[in-house]
């Protein structure tokens, strides 16, 4: 069977997001991600004010790396980021985008009203990486 880095990205939820600090060095953050291969995008929920969010507002280039089971395979996706949020209205478009992210990655939430309130209170931001390149390897 041929290794497909897209498949590894689609089946792995935990990854390491790389953004670019003001001094040009990479900043790495563990994140939970959802890869939509059909749309060519990776979605990540984060909070406003964190280093990764500040970095992406200054420079929207990013990469994410995921490891396969046993650490013998890996996949990296690169692209340009769009940030949505934070929202101030639980029924606003910024929170709707986070609801869509949750549904696509995890399914239905037991209490959408509570989820929406938490997204506003936590000042959640949706990171959308428009994927331009995917690569990886299976060292199996």
pLDDT tens digits for range 80-101 = 999 999 999 999 999 999 999 9
Q: Which fold has domain 5-85+124-138?
A: Pnp Oxidase; Chain A (2.30.110)
Q: For residue 71, what pLDDT is reported?
A: 85
Residue 79 phi/psi, 5-degree rounding, is 175, -170
Residue 140 pLDDT exceeds 80:
no
At residue 69, the pLDDT reads: 86
Q: State yes or no: pLDDT of 111 exceeds 80.
A: yes
Q: Is the pLDDT of residue 27 over 90?
A: yes
* Mean model confidence pLDDT for the chain: 94
Given the structure tokens 């990296």, which residue do they identify? 76
Q: Looking at beta carbons, which pairs linking 65-71 to residues 24 or more positions away fall under 8 Å?
A: 65/15, 65/16, 65/18, 66/8, 66/9, 66/12, 66/14, 66/15, 66/16, 66/33, 67/12, 68/8, 68/12, 68/138
99-109: pLDDT as tens digits? 999 998 888 99
């Amino acid at each position: 069977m041929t290794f497909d880095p897209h498949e590894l990205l689609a089946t792995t939820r935990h990854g390491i997001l790389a953004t670019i600090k003001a001094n040009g060095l990479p900043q790495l953050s563990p994140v939970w991600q959802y890869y939509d291969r059909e749309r060519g995008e990776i979605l990540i929920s984060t909070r406003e004010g964190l280093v990764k969010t500040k970095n992406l507002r200054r420079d929207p280039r990013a990469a994410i790396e995921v490891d396969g089971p046993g650490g013998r395979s890996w996949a990296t996706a690169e692209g340009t980021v769009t940030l949505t949020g934070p929202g101030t209205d639980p029924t606003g478009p910024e929170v709707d985008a986070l609801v869509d992210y949750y549904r696509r990655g995890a399914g239905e939430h037991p209490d959408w009203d509570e989820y929406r309130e938490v997204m506003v209170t936590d000042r959640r931001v949706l990171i959308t990486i428009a994927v331009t390149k995917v690569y990886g390897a299976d060292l199996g």
